[in-house]
Structure 1
């Protein structure tokens, strides 16, 4: 589970990690994009539906022996419970990797002009990220925290892989 605020590199790291360990990659933003593309109105229910859809896909893949890498903000304990339930239902191991950018100016710059090619999921603005940061629930689960401020994606993946095994 790759977690963190928008703009910390979740999708890039999750995608590279999934390739590296031959895992299934599930992105909440891609699922939300699909749901919104069907004409449903933007809102909390779409976010919850995206988490539940990703959970269902994870639960289908884990019993097949596939590792699953999910990238999602996971800013509440309720969101994190989704992944606890998936691990419990399948006997899978859950590992949280929380990405941060400690240099706020670098984080802000990452969001400027960012275009992930999504039509229905808007790019967050800095004030949106700051608001989410203020409301981000503290971690109660064991987790790996990595500062991606000046660390390239491949280096983050190299750091994550051995720590996931332990």
Structure 2
């Protein structure tokens, strides 16, 4: 199965993805560390490293799926093209696809999480609240079936809902 997480930076999607990964014993591939690795390797920040990171994660996810193993992709996935990328990957491998969008209904909690997080990704600058709000304005509408989780709720509750949902994904 291909599980694709989506949501703005700082909403809590990585925390849910990591917990799901541990519960399901499947790898979690995150776009941000891949992009940071490109910068550390000397690829300029003026290059399309965000897009390249999605392509690298897609390639790694494809390799994992080819081994008949499930994988979780952790990325903002705010563009229709990104979501189509994952749909195509699932189709090519003939695996189930589960989209999970994570939101935070409480803007104060979201902002506090964003401004307080320290993920320790070498070379990665955390986005500002203002940049996240700008990204929210450009977040493309969903047309796919997906589970929406509100990270203002306890993570354990969200993980239980996600696990039950994923069991029912055709």
Q: TM-score range by the shorter chain?
A: over 0.9
* Alignment RMSD: 1.2
**SS of structure 2 residue aligned to 1:112:** helix
Q: CA deviation digits over 1:109-144, x for unaligned, max 9?
A: 111232111232211111011000000000011000
1:36-75 → structure 2 map (5 Å cutoff): 36-43=39-46, 45-75=48-78
Cα distance, 1:83 vs structure 2: 0.5
For structure 1, which segment, 134-143 or 75-84, has the greater mean C-alpha deviation from structure 2 after superposition?
75-84
Correspondence 1:13 to 2:16: yes
Task: Structure 1: state its 5+ residue gaps.
Answer: none
Instruction: Please tell me whether residue 135 in structure 1 is matched to residue 138 in structure 2.
Output: yes
Counting matched residue pairs gives 165
Aligned to 2:159: 157
Unaligned runs of 5+ in 2: none
Q: How does 1:57-136 map to 2 (within 5 A)?
A: 57-136=60-139
TM-score normalized with structure 1 length:
0.95
TM-score (norm 2): 0.92
What's the CA shift for 1:79? 1.2
**Aligned equivalents of 2:17, 2:73: Cα separation in 1:** 7
Quote the Cα distance in structure 2 between the aligned partners of 1:141 and 1:43.
32
**Is contact 1:24–1:66 with CA below 8 Å preserved after alignment?**
no
Contact 2:11 2:110 in 1 (8 A): yes
**CA drift at 1:12:** 1.1
